[in-house]
Structure 1
């Protein structure tokens, strides 16, 4: 019989009170209500990404009908909304299900150690950045995403240290920044830059987006006609299901068409872009990407606000290479100079797995990047731990939910079979036979720079990366959970 010291504090500990953590907590309550759990989060409030990022105009880059939870459908009229609304939605969702009572804020997990003697995870936790405490659990769910919340990605910008005006990274946006009537240059062309430009242009004197190469930027109505009709003629429950299904199908169709017919997709996007540009402005060189659609994430702008700012004359795009930055200017390779008051370095985010937690097994360090991911959810050689990863070509929430349902299925089966430990394994021969493939199928700069932090993946099941929601959900509910997995009593 186990002694008191050998008993866990919780059956499951969830790290992260963002979308992944809250969704898993719901699934756990729904499918294994007998299990005790707690959520640990280093921040002061619910939200994760939507609590951290506070730059002007921050919004979802996926529709809220699929970005919202399946168990608490999005009922707002707009499909793309401001980050503060998303955070409030997460808070309300957690409160509705009593999940908020399970969260311990300002509890930062520094270290996780698996003890083979007790078959438990030991947590080293910093509370309020001062007090240290320990907890134990049988199972861990990491809802920490793959961004570094402490340190932004520093782009390689020649001479940036010379600039005597303000230099700001969107991840560290000052709440008191006054940019009214200022000349602003945003360096970057990703979703953050495309969100910032129309927001800053409202009060700034002028905003220039300085890019090395263009991105695909699609205009999406914030309130669609189909959504309005469905919401008016169907009961709310039915309307929610129809709209969620519509957006799932739309996302799958768009990504599939882009990958199967990249030339046709590129022509379509460029035609739509040309319609939104000011008269006399050509697509070249500022609006024709060098890559195929969905080799990088497609950027969305609600109601074409990005293009509206350009048409108004309050914003512009410059495609060029930075030669150097002086105390008061940006010198470009073309010979042109820009004279900003503020430089915003929207050059991407730094990648970091597991929230930077040091993971050890019986005191021996464990590196996620050295191992293969089983079903894109558990790590080879890492017992009783699920890592939540969403989609890059669809809503994050869909991927997080398929992972959560897989985790709940594993927990249920462990209980029914009297199993205390599950751990993905493969033989040396099996490993040698695997043909590796990228864990994330994106060519974005931040992925290329930080991609070595991701787990390994292969073309062979069960070591494949995520594919698309319905396939992953089918695997989570009915797929083989024995292959590549040790079940230990």
Structure 2
């Protein structure tokens, strides 16, 4: 019986926790660790829709699924990474499983719980969270003092596929990597992968040897960084028998230093950085193919740059196992795809590595004191809190650095905020614009001139607004935030505290 067909039972008695964490992916597991370490007296639960932990690394099962940033910085700061810098989904899941086991986090995690509604009551100073148990169809409910949103930023159930004319006429199969079917047979098939980002670059070399031929079809090129899937500094330190915790910290700092320099150069001398990136690709495929198919029209870092271990996609092109076509789709045909240039690509299978749908706070229906909440009507406080929304923090990571770097920083902030509230005897905290902020110009969540991937541009109307002051923006500068976030003045007038004691529901039975 599928989940949709399961009977819906009556809600069980309310369970209460000090903190409710939404999501058992990289952010949620990290949050649970930090909460247990820094606020050991707090009760908490982690609710996860899926059958296990991992989030992205569990739902994405397409061939070759791997990180597009190094695990020394994508891994948690508190647990050394000992594998190759670019890791497979299985390696990342194993690492996360060790974090759960080593810190006894399993008793705090409830899987197969899909949250539907979250309602804040200022009378009780509590969130009420309603969910459905997907294994039984039973409705369940929780109350909590604080809601920690760690569910990520895109819809796991479906990826984004544009609607092209003629798709219904295509006699082959159309597949999105996010919902990869178990029965897909690629052997000796003509495959077209539509896309130009990290997913497409991962898929092509992973399936090239199985297919008859694979063609990467892209509307416009993306920047990549090809290189060895190894870290020379880590290898040297291991030869010297340095402790893994030291290696993790040293290598992590070196990578972050280099990334900071690279990011700043991409703004200060974009043409030089562009030529360096193109030279890295040209070393594999030569200047002609690089110019034709791997030279983006935008400056570096306006979209995410993926690391390509050992230049594997470029090696596939060199060996003739893969082709690259840069063109636009006119329409699908029975046999494949007709391009605007007039060329037709024959295909048995088309894989649409065309991105995902933005998901703002888990597609959960929120209400504050009976009023439905539209996050687009709020202003963000440093990309993690929202004006008028009490006792809630959202983890949204970095685009130009590893997601987990910000997850760790936000976790520190949450734990410090919870401790500060206890010290003040407050049970409610809301961020509000200060008098000096009232006439502040507001604009979209992020400046498209700064960063403009398709999923953000398609979903910008769903996101909170930003102001023109640093505290009312979601910064993409980890190297600044790692200094600023720990120094946030929690008694600044942007934080409005209230309440004396949360009214915890009486236990039933």
TM-score tier, shorter chain, comes to: over 0.9
Structure 2 counterpart of 1:123: 129
1:434 aligns with 2:434: no
Match of 1:246 in 2: 254
Contact 1:109 1:126 in 2 (8 A): yes
Q: 1:372 aligns with which of 370, 373, 379?
A: 379
Equivalent of 1:449 in 446, 451, 458: 458
CA distance in 2, matches of 1:454, 1:157: 27
Moved over 4 A (4+): none
CA-to-partner distance for each residue in 1:400-448, whole Å, 9 max, x for gaps? 1111111111001001111110001126873432343543742122221
- Distance in structure 1 (CA, Å) of the matches to 2:234 and 2:224: 22
Secondary structure of the residue that 1:150 maps to in structure 2? Answer: strand
Counterpart secondary structure, 2:439: helix
CA deviations 1:301-351 (Å, max 9, x no partner) are 101101111011000110011111111121111111110110001111100
Alignment equivalent of 1:333, drawn from 333, 340, 353 = 340
Give the superposed CA RMSD. 1.8
The match for 1:401 among 391, 404, 408 is: 408
Distance in 2 (CA, whole Å) between partners of 1:439 and 1:31 is: 32
User: 1:110 pairs with 110, 116, 125, which one?
Assistant: 116
Cα distance between partner residues in 2 of 1:8 and 1:148: 27
Aligned partner of 2:7 in structure 1 is none
Tell me which of 328, 346, 350 is aligned to 1:321.
328
Q: Indicate whether 1:289 and 2:296 are aligned.
A: yes
**C-alpha contact 1:144 1:353 (8 A) present in aligned 2:** no
Write the deviation string for residues 190-233 of structure 1: whole angstroms up to 9, x where unpaired.
11111111001021111101011111121021113222112221
Per-residue CA deviation, residues 444-468 of structure 1 (Å, 9 max, x unaligned), is 2222112222221122132121232
- Which residue of structure 2 aligns with residue 141 of structure 1? 148
Structure 1 residues without counterparts, runs of 5 or longer: 1-5
Contact 2:63 2:203 in 1 (8 A): yes
Separation in structure 2 between the aligned mates of residue 213 and residue 71 of structure 1, nearest angstrom:
39
Report the TM-score, using the length of structure 2 for normalisation: 0.92
Select between 157-166 and 103-112 the one with higher mean Cα deviation: 157-166
Question: Are the equivalent residues in 2 in contact too, given 1:181–1:205 (CA < 8 A)?
Answer: yes
| C-alpha separation in 2, matches of 1:324 and 1:461 | 45
Instruction: Tell me, in whole angstroms, the C-alpha distance in 2 between the residues paired with 1:284 and 1:314.
Output: 20
- By how many angstroms is 1:260 displaced? 1.4
Partner Cα distance (1:263, 1:46) in 2: 42
Aligned to 1:485: 495
Aligned partners of 2:277 and 2:436: how far apart in 1? 46
1:350 aligns with 2:357: yes
What secondary structure, in the 3-state scheme, does the structure 2 residue paired with 1:456 have? Answer: coil
Partners of 2:376 and 2:464 within 8 A in 1: yes
Match status 1:90 vs 2:99: no
Of residues 414, 418, 433, the one that matches 2:421 is 414
When residues 109 and 7 of structure 1 are mapped into structure 2, their CA distance, relative to the original with a 3 A threshold, is: closer
Distance 2:459 2:161 in 1: 12
Which residue does the alignment assign to 2:505?
Answer: none
C-alpha separation between the residues in 1 aligned to 2:391 and 2:44?
Answer: 14
1:256 corresponds to: 264
Equivalent-residue separation in structure 2 for 1:247 and 1:399 (angstroms)? 16
Q: 1:38 aligns with which of 39, 42, 45?
A: 45
Give the structure 2 partner of residue 475 of structure 1: 484
SS of residue in 2 equivalent to 1:46: coil
| Residue matched to 1:3 | none
Distance 2:495 2:16 in 1: 26
CA distance in 2, matches of 1:461, 1:292: 24
Q: Is the 8 A contact 2:15 2:141 kept in 1?
A: no
- Kept in 1, the 8 Å contact 2:215–2:324? The answer is yes
Match of 1:267 among 264, 267, 275: 275
Deviations 1:84-105 (A, max 9, x none): 2111211111111011221000
- SS of the residue corresponding to residue 446 of structure 2 reads coil
Distance 1:322 1:7, change over 3 A: closer
Number of equivalences = 483
Q: What are the Cα deviations for residues 13-72 of structure 1, in whole angstroms up to 9, with x where unaligned?
A: 101000111111111111110010010001000101111111111100110001001111
Kept after mapping to 2: 8 A contact 1:296/1:442: yes
